[in-house]
């Protein structure tokens, strides 16, 4: 007995070309998103490292100068006592009843 050959069905050339374009574009976007996620992970890691370094530096500044408020533009600073004194001047003397 001879086997029946089945007919092969296929998309027409135009539809196949469009399908390939869509799949290629989606794959490209997926690859770019993956690349961005890798970059995001690297940036987050760098941010974490820098934050730790900044924390260590800040602790060194506090050890050297005490608790202060710093103007980041000029480098001038005020001590806690100076800040409290300014608040008292602004608010006036404390009233006790």
The CA-to-CA distance between both ends of the chain, in Å, stands at 115
Q: Which residue matches tokens 């900044």?
A: 54
Residue with tokens 């202060």: 68
21 pLDDT higher than 50: yes
Mean pLDDT of the residues in the chain: 91
Q: How far is CA 64 from CA 16, 52, 67, 68, 85, in A?
A: 71, 19, 9, 10, 22
Q: How confident is the model at residue 96 (pLDDT cuts 50, 70, 90)?
A: low
Tell me, yes or no, if the pTM score tops 0.75: no
Task: Give tens-digit pLDDT for 46-85.
Answer: 999 999 999 999 999 999 999 999 999 999 999 999 988 8
| Domain ranges within the chain, ordered by starting residue | 14-89
């Amino acid at each position: 007995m001879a086997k029946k050959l089945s007919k092969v069905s296929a998309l027409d050339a135009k539809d196949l070309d469009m399908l390939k374009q869509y799949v290629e574009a989606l794959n490209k976007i997926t690859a770019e998103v993956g690349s961005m996620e890798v970059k995001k992970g690297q940036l987050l890691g760098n941010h974490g490292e820098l934050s730790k370094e900044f924390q260590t530096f800040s602790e060194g500044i506090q050890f050297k100068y005490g608790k202060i408020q710093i103007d980041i533009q000029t480098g001038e600073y005020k001590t806690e006592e100076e800040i409290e004194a300014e608040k008292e001047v602004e608010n006036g003397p404390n009233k006790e009843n």
